[in-house]
Chains A and B, each alone.
Chain A
């Protein structure tokens, strides 16, 4: 370990990659504070939590779980051989948590009020608990790591005091980690109607906790290997073997719990029904849990550097997938069906048939499809019998309407089109024109919604919008 203080060049490949990442992060933060949250993140009312929550908070906290697993092993269970990696594990955990806090500050709408939860207690909120635990745990990690600094500064008296509190600190750290690692799962307990039942379980807190231990160990192995390469240190093969074993055992426990939970809830068939969700689930469990578990169960793999590295990467990828599937994809996938087409990253879940049933009233309205047109036609025929009805033959009376709707192909029958963008000025919304037939019946519905206050400006605007509609009508008549 004596050569771990090697100078690292600012221009090595690793540093350059990191610098690029830092620059990208700073750009994102600047972007958020200059263009606003919606514009910079593409989040929306349908997708309130996105990458920053899924990756920075959910994954960030899970990946920093190495800190508490290793301190527990070293100081509680007295597994002395892991001591060399205790300090790096604490440091990475500390940096990880700092990143979580920074990420949260960028992500919340009111960064200047970040301290509110610490003062305005609301103990029924999972978010409150997570914020408290993360703040306290970051402090604990700082205190655990402080002696390394203080030793350098020669403040040995302070170091002595801190050392005296080692065990209380370690125990507090483990408890705090237990609480918030599992609470990240408890976040989602309140959304039974929103989460896919493959992921929603009353035991989500436990799953999050166990998977955090597994990924914490995997992360420590990963860091140990990469760190040894970067700093040209000898590899800690013995330790890696032990870590690999620990990871495999934790993954096994996790898998058993997951399967037991699925079958208890009767959701096991869902995992095999071939839907997009089940494919994601299978990928998550197969690649992220089962394969590294089997790999690490083989002694040869545990002894080979690449074996441990590869399996760790699988575990890390699996946990990241799990957190994303729980937050971004699946919640919003559900929400996407319930509310609007999910426009948020990534779009690969589009076209998943399972959620496309029915019209939902909380759905962003879509272009009326053939069926809807049929319904409205019949509405005319049956309800408004007074109106003459001769059927329609060609697309609507106002061809321009096609472009306004950005329709891919012309509708046989144009029902609705937009008069103009009045909502910008004065707040007059689009006019709707129904033209079930080429020339005779024209019903114009001025949609009054979104009119702020009826004022003098509205009337002319409304009249001009009507004029647009009428001219469209007459022009189409002429064409005919």
Chain B
């Protein structure tokens, strides 16, 4: 895996530059040796309809109306590679790991297939092999091996108009901020992924409000694992406290009778 001292990487998708060629989608399939799934015609250019266990990344075609004009946008979606991933904290066996270089990687041989990661991920990213008898989860890998070898992910490499840029996370953020600043009026003043779910490695710039394009905008700006940890971290105290209180109550209430416990036969009570 990646050297541990590797700086965290990030990627930025500038939706104003994307031409909807789906090169990223294809190169992802080639690199990750993903197969296909039967699709159904649904009347939309997005194909397949959503990411699935064979499609780690996907270009979605969205039409929106902007100033009485039509805006047709192409949104490449994939795992966001959160800084503090909900999927990793949810997994009972630790199949997901956030690596120092940025990718959230997955060890299929650990997975028990409980699907809690799918429920937990705010971006609905992990997908399941529903057609298999013993399915596991699949999701974008951020081409972790390529990054470890000093290369960019396959999709980034492919993108003809350089709509995706890849590099050290802080430099990418700086570049996104620069673009917003130097082109006033071009972009909405928001880097999607900068705050969402506590920050993600993948980020988006757009000229159309993210909400209108169907990005989830109700995701809290803090790391989601903290929400469950708030409850889980109290367990040791709960256990200790309950043990003391219950023993005390039991001692006080049961003083002076030799009770047999739940295992005692009920003879004395029978009549």
Please give the residue numbers on chain A whose beta carbons come within 8 Å of chain B beta carbons, in ascending order: 1-2, 33-34, 36-39, 43-46, 48-49, 71-72, 74-78, 80, 83-84, 86-87, 90, 104, 107-114, 116-117, 120-129, 131, 144-148, 151, 159, 162-163, 166-167, 169-171, 174-175, 178-179, 182-183, 186-187, 189-194, 202, 205, 331, 335, 338-340, 358-368, 372, 375-376, 378-379, 382-383, 404-405, 415-418, 421, 423-424, 427, 429-430, 432, 445, 447-453
Contact = CB atoms under 8 A, between A and B. Distances in A.
Interface stretch (B6-14, B161-169, B176-184, B225-233): B225-233
Contacts of A43: 130
Interface residues of B, number: 105
B126 to A, nearest CB: 8
B246 A109 contact: no
Interface string B79-95: 00000001001111110
B219 A193 contact: yes
A75 B253 CA distance: 9
Given A122-B92, A179-B238, A339 B124 contact: yes
Nearest to A150: B263
B130 A335 contact: no
Contacts of B48: 449-450
Contact of A178 (B133, B134, B136, B238): B238
B38 A421 contact: yes
B120 A191 contact: yes
B4 interface: no
B135 A37 contact: yes
A338 B227 CA distance: 22
A111 B132 CA distance: 13
Given A38-B130, A362-B50, A423 B120 contact: no
Interface in B128-142: 128-136
Contacts of A404: 41
Contact of A361 (B128, B213, B239): B213
A335 B242 contact: no
Contacts of B173: none
B63 A340 contact: no
Given A116-B93, A190-B86, A167 B261 contact: yes
A194 B70 contact: no
Contacts of A159: 263
Contact of B231 (A78, A111, A178, A183): A183
Contacts of B115: 48-49, 109
B214 interface: yes
Nearest to B53: A45
A379 B135 CA distance: 43
Given A75-B250, A175-B239, A331-B119, A126 B42 contact: no
A335 to B, nearest CB: 7
A138 to B, nearest CB: 15
B5 interface: no
Interface string B111-123: 1111110111011
A315 B51 CA distance: 40
Contact of A365 (B44, B86, B93, B260): B44
A50 to B, nearest CB: 10
Given A49-B115, A76-B250, A382-B70, 9 more contacts: A116-B110, A122-B94, A166-B259, A189-B231, A358-B212, A359-B213, A415-B43, A429-B39, A450-B39
Which of B50, B77, B247 has the most chain A CB atoms closer than 10 A to its own CB? B50
